């Protein structure tokens, strides 16, 4: 039997309205309250609500750290397989509380969580990327519809089954791209979309264009002839044999290689792990991607201060932005700590 | 231009002493085909095998997939400028062997050859689990250069496909369909009220092992130009491609380009399908700029109302795609683009390397980074020796029980960007 | 990667062929390269000419690093 702990606010526990919103978090073992009854009916015996936690919305938000810690302990004490909060519909503080506590339980206890709320609930924007939340109507009149979606998705999460798209499962889109098979092949969908676009009718793109974040440029290097320069590349240059097995595509790792004493990258010593471009030229002479030879010359001539003794490398071929970000988050502080003044990053 | 395309349904393939097609069965003489393959001195040996839908068979590393066809009436021959002499194709009568394919496989060339599973989870993702496959595993001579090897295998596949196609020349097709487009002027009079639509096909042309050929011309050396949409049905465009298996267009897809076919379905009813525009995806920025400028210019000159743009591959071609879309939209031509995504194994990353607000109508072939487990299958045609090196695999790919943990990337045709399959993502 | 290096407080120049991608991903100092398979080289040249070409691009990159910029700039 799947054990469930359910979180609701003072209102849905029928303790009271706004005047009771400062109600302190409370664990009621063996009780099923309000929306819990609908959930219980929905589970049809496949899962059991073993305890309900009731907490006032104001109490939760005004005593955030305390409330989080207390509720976490309460959940933990029940050793549940699943945690459900709400649904919160359009109740703002309740939505934020549901999102907050779901994210906390998921992270700290590692069990599946689910909540539900109206898409305009402030809690939706804050937590839709962290936890599954069913998209509900804006009032408790939508309770049945909400529970009808929460139950199957919750069971899938517990059973670690494949989760479908937002449209299929009814959760608020969380920015995670999920594959599925359409009814029609892609070319037919493109023709249909074009016909709608030509007729000025509404159409839905399958991939809304993202907005990109920006970072302010740093001030320039004052005296390049004194500067320590580091080389970084997404062109996959690595010592011959690719010792760290950097993948040719969608890399999950990067390499850090010492080039102390190396003045030229030759075909005997270096190659590329990159699978997205013709590797012949880089394998012949890796300086074509990572200009170690030229920088060594300039170092000798005093045109630059020095070339940093490590270079960092990965393959930027279909590599997830998140991975690339993670790599640089790891090595950039190292560069900073070692007094690197500037970086030349080369891409293929 | 008018092309009558006859379908000859192949229901079985068997090895025999004689090459022939009889009552829907293709009989293959290995010796006869071996001769055709070994015409090229760069190939030392070849093994033939047959893989049927539902069998516990994995084919890898897959290079190309080809549908045998033959020209029955009209100018030119199949694969003009490559196998047949150069002549404009796309008119007259052509027969295709339906329900089967020639699959070329063998020792790996680049990083990016594919996997075709005939059963199990992987079979859901590749369209070529549904065809009867005659697989040729080629072995090159020793010390051959990568690109010579790629070319030798590519051409051998075409020679074999043409040889098989010719067996159908005197048969009666099971089904016939006519594809016809008018000239520009005729089109205006025939379909005065219908929006003028073209298909802009981007051809992979990044370098030695990432190439496409048009009438034998390396696509990176073309400027954008116009084709009659029936030309591809006679093999005007062929693949010479080792980009990721999931989103390269095997020659089979060029011959059966789904955008061409689905636009023909609407032709004369809701649209006037004017032409196909082909452009490339080169590695120099100036080339990218020139090609997208010209594509937009052609759309304008042809007085188009709308286009569908399909991409091939990913990464820097995302920029070609966005440049094409942006510039064509700026000419007032409504644009729908077809691409696929590299959103990371968790689906949380940026799907494309480039983006623009003008790209407001996108069809996606799905996230190529999604990880799936391919079960161990009874038989491997080709070799699993290189499986960990194929793009989308890693040194952790082979699991203890012999199953494979891979990204969809490794599967031939899984996220095809001409919309050849039903996979998508949201 | 380029943004995370910049965020760490180190000026960075992105040497790449497809500058529009570099613009989209948010590099601030961008120096155009030769071609995707050989950004800092050209196999058609002999070794010395090729190295001189590479030196020019590297010098341009170093110049970009010594130049103040307001926003995204292609040198």
Q: What is the pLDDT of residues B59-76, one digit of tens each?
A: 999 999 999 999 999 999
Residue of B nearest to A274 (CA): B111
pTM greater than 0.80 = no
How is residue A7 written in tokens?
Answer: 């979180």
Asked if the Cβ–Cβ distance from B319 to C21 is below 8 Å, we say yes
pLDDT score for B386: 84
Q: Is residue A154 domain-resident?
A: yes
User: A14: domain CATH number?
Assistant: 3.40.50.2300
What are chain C's partners, defined as 3 or more CB pairs within 8 angstroms?
Answer: A, B
- Dihedral sign, Cα of residue C35, residue C37, residue C42, residue C48: positive
**Nearest-CA neighbor of B64 among B33, B34, B106?**
B106
Residue B405 lies in a domain: yes
Whether residue A274 sits in one domain with residue A127: no
Statement: residue A308 has pLDDT above 90: yes
> Cα distance from A241 to chain C (closest Cα, Å)?
19
Residue B285, min C-alpha distance to chain C (Å): 6
CB contacts, 8 Å: B285 with chain C: 17-20, 32
Can you tell me the mean pLDDT for A331-336? 94
A295-329 exposure pattern, b = at least 16 Cβ within 10 A, e = fewer: bbbbeeeebbbebbebbbbbbbbbbbbebbeebbe
Considering its fold, how many domains does chain A have in total?
A: 2
Residue in B with minimal Cα distance to A324: B349
Q: For residues B136 and B157, what is the distance between their CA atoms, to the nearest angstrom?
A: 8
Distances (CA, A) of B158 to A101, B102, B210: 62, 9, 18
Residues B298 and B307: beta-carbon distance below 8 Å: no
From A169, A200, A232, the end of a domain falls on: A169
Q: Are residues A108 and A247 in the same domain?
A: no
Q: Is the pLDDT of residue C24 over 80?
A: no
Contacts of B305 in chain A (CB under 8 A): 198
Instruction: Quickly state the pLDDT bin for A213 (edges 50, 70, 90).
Output: low
Measured between CA atoms, the residue of chain B closest to residue C21 is B354
> SS3 for B177?
strand
Question: What pLDDT does residue A151 have?
Answer: 97
Taken as a whole, chain C contains a residue count of 75
Based on the structure, what is the number of domains in chain B? Answer: 1
Indicate whether A212 pLDDT > 70: no
Mean pLDDT within A159-164: 90
| Alpha helices (runs of H) in chain A, residue ranges in sequence order | 35-43, 57-62, 64-78, 92-109, 122-127, 143-158, 166-169, 186-198, 280-284, 292-300, 321-337
Is residue B110 scored above 70 in pLDDT?
no
Res B13 pLDDT > 70: yes
- A160 and A17 within one domain: yes
More reliable by pLDDT, B396 or A85: A85
Residue B295 near residue B374 (C-beta atoms within 8 A): no
If contacts are CB pairs under 8 Å, which of residues 279-298 in chain A contact chain C? 279-282, 284-285, 287-291, 293-295, 297-298
% residues pLDDT > 90 (chain B): 87
Q: How many CB atoms lie within 10 A of CB C75?
A: 15
Question: Distance of CA A9 to CAs A64, A112, A147, A222, Å?
Answer: 14, 20, 17, 59
Of C19, C21, C36, the CB nearest to B353: C21
Kindly report, residue by residue over B14-30, the tens digit of the pLDDT.
999 999 999 999 999 99
Cα B113–B119–B122 angle (5° rounding)?
45
CA distance linking residue B55 with residue C4, whole number of Å:
49
- A16 and A88 housed in the same domain: yes
Structure tokens that stand for B320 in this block: 């070609």
β-pairing verdict for B92-98 and B43-51: unpaired
On chain C, the residues whose CB falls within 8 A of the CB of B316 are 17-18, 21, 36
B15 sits in which H/E element: strand B12-15
By CB atoms closer than 10 A (0-12, 13-18, 19+), residue B231 is buried
Select which of B138, B242, B275, B325 is catalytic.
B242
In tens, the pLDDT along A268-295 reads: 999 998 876 778 899 999 999 999 999 9
The answer to whether A237 and A267 have CB atoms below 8 angstroms apart is: no
**pLDDT at residue number B243:** 73
**B75: domain range?**
2-179+193-410
Residue A240 counted as domain residue: yes
User: In DSSP terms, which residues pair with B51 in a beta bridge?
Assistant: B133
**By residue range, what is the domain housing residue A157?**
2-169
Q: B303 lies in a domain?
A: yes
The stretch B365-379 carries a mean pLDDT of 96
Asked whether the bond before B61 is cis by omega within 30 degrees of 0, the reply is yes
CB B136 within 8 A of CB B63: no
B242 is a catalytic site residue: yes
Q: What is the pLDDT of residues B282-325, one digit of tens each?
A: 989 999 999 999 999 999 999 999 999 999 999 889 999 999 99
Q: Which has the closest alpha carbon to B305: A136, A200, A60, A306?
A: A200
pLDDT of residue C74: 93
Average pLDDT, chain B: 95
- Cβ atoms of residues A205 and B361 within 8 Å: yes
Is A208 among the domain residues? Answer: no
Backbone angles phi, psi at B196, to 5 degrees: -90, 120
Which residues, other chains included, contact A308 with Cβ-Cβ below 8 Å and sequence gap of 6+? A228, A229, A230, A231, A335, A338, A340
Residues of B in contact with A317 (CB under 8 A): 315, 391
Nearest of B244, B265, B287, B119 to residue B178 by alpha carbon: B265
Give tens-digit pLDDT for B217-232. 999 999 999 999 999 9
Of A227, A304, A343, the CB nearest to C5: A343
Predicted ipTM?
0.96
Which residues lie closer than 8 Å to A40 by C-beta, 6 or more apart?
Answer: A32, A48, A49
CA angle C22, C28, C34 (to 5 degrees): 45
């Amino acid at each position: 039997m799947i054990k469930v702990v359910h979180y609701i606010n003072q209102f849905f526990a029928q303790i009271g309205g706004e005047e009771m919103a400062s109600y302190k978090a409370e664990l009621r073992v063996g009780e099923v309250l309000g929306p819990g009854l609908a959930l219980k009916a929905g589970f049809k015996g496949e899962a059991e609500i073993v305890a309900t936690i009731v907490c006032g919305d104001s109490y939760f938000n005004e005593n955030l750290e305390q409330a989080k810690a207390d509720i976490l302990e309460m959940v933990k004490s029940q050793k549940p397989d699943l945690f459900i909060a709400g649904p919160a519909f359009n109740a703002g503080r309740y939505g934020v509380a549901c999102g907050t506590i779901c994210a906390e339980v998921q992270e700290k206890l590692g069990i599946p969580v689910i909540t539900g709320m109206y898409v305009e609930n402030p809690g939706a924007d804050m937590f839709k990327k962290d936890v599954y939340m069913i998209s509900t109507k804006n009032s408790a009149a939508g309770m049945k519809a909400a529970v009808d979606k929460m139950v199957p998705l919750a069971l899938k999460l517990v059973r670690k089954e494949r989760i479908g798209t937002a449209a299929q499962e009814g959760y608020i889109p969380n920015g995670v791209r999920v594959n599925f098979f359409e009814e029609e092949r892609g070319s037919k969908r493109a023709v249909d979309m074009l016909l709608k676009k030509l007729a000025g009718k509404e159409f839905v793109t399958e991939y809304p264009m993202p907005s990109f974040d920006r970072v302010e440029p740093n001030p320039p290097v004052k005296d390049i002839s004194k500067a320590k320069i580091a080389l970084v590349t997404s062109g996959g240059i690595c010592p011959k044999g690719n010792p760290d097995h950097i993948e040719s595509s969608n890399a999950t790792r990067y390499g850090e290689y010492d080039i102390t004493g190396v003045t030229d990258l030759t075909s005997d010593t270096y190659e590329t792990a990159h699978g997205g471009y013709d590797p012949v030229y880089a394998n012949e002479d890796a300086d074509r991607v990572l200009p170690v030879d030229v920088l060594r010359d300039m170092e000798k001539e005093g045109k630059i201060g020095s070339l940093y003794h490590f270079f960092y490398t990965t393959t930027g071929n279909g590599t997830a932005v998140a991975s690339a970000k993670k790599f640089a988050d790891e090595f950039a502080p190292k560069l900073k700590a070692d007094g690197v003044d500037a970086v030349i990053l080369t891409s293929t | 231009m008018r092309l009558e395309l006859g379908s000859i349904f192949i229901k079985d393939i068997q090895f025999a002493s004689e090459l022939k097609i009889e009552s829907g069965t293709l009989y293959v003489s290995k010796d006869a085909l071996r001769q055709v393959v070994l015409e090229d001195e760069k190939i030392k040996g070849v093994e033939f095998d047959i893989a049927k839908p539902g069998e516990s068979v994995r084919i890898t590393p897959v290079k190309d997939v080809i549908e045998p066809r033959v020209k029955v009436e009209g100018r030119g021959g199949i694969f003009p400028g490559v196998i047949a002499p150069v002549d404009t194709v796309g008119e007259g009568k052509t027969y295709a062997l339906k329900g089967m394919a020639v699959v070329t496989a063998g020792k790996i060339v680049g990083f990016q050859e594919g996997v075709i599973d005939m059963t199990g989870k992987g079979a859901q993702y590749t369209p070529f689990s549904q065809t009867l496959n005659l697989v040729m595993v080629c072995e090159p001579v020793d010390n051959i250069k990568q690109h010579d090897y790629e070319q030798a295998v590519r051409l051998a596949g075409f020679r074999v496909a043409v040889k098989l196609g010719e067996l159908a020349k005197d048969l009666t097709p099971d089904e016939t369909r006519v594809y016809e487009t008018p000239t520009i002027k005729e089109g205006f009079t025939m379909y005065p009220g219908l929006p003028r639509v073209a298909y802009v096909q981007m051809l992979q042309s990044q370098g030695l092992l990432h190439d496409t050929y048009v009438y034998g011309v390396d696509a990176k050396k073309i400027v954008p130009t116009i084709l009659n949409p029936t030309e591809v049905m006679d093999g005007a465009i062929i693949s010479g491609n080792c980009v990721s298996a999931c989103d390269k267009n095997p020659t089979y897809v060029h011959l059966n380009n789904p955008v061409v076919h689905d636009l023909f379905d609407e032709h004369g009813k809701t649209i006037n399908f004017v032409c196909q525009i082909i452009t490339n995806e080169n590695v120099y920025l100036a080339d990218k700029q020139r090609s997208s400028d010209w594509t937009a210019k052609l759309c304008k000159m042809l007085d188009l109302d709308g286009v569908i743009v399909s991409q091939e591959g990913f990464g820097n071609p995302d920029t070609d795609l966005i440049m094409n879309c942006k510039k064509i939209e700026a000419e007032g031509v409504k644009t729908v683009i077809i691409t696929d995504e590299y959103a990371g194994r968790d689906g949380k990353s940026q799907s494309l390397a480039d983006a623009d607000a003008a790209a407001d109508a996108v069809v996606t072939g799905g996230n190529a980074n999604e990880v799936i487990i391919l079960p161990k299958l009874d038989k491997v045609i080709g070799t699993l020796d290189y499986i960990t090196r194929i793009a989308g695999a890693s040194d952790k790919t082979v699991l203890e029980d012999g199953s494979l943990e891979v990204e969809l990337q490794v599967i031939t045709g899984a996220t095809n960007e001409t919309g050849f399959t039903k996979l998508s993502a949201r | 990667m380029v943004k995370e290096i910049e965020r760490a407080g180190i000026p960075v120049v992105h040497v790449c062929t497809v500058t529009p991608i570099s613009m989209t991903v948010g590099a601030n100092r961008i120096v155009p390269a030769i071609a995707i398979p050989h950004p800092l080289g050209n196999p058609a040249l002999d070794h010395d000419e090729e190295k001189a070409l590479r030196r020019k691009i590297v010098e341009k990159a170093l110049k970009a690093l010594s130049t103040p910029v307001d926003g995204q700039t292609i040198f």
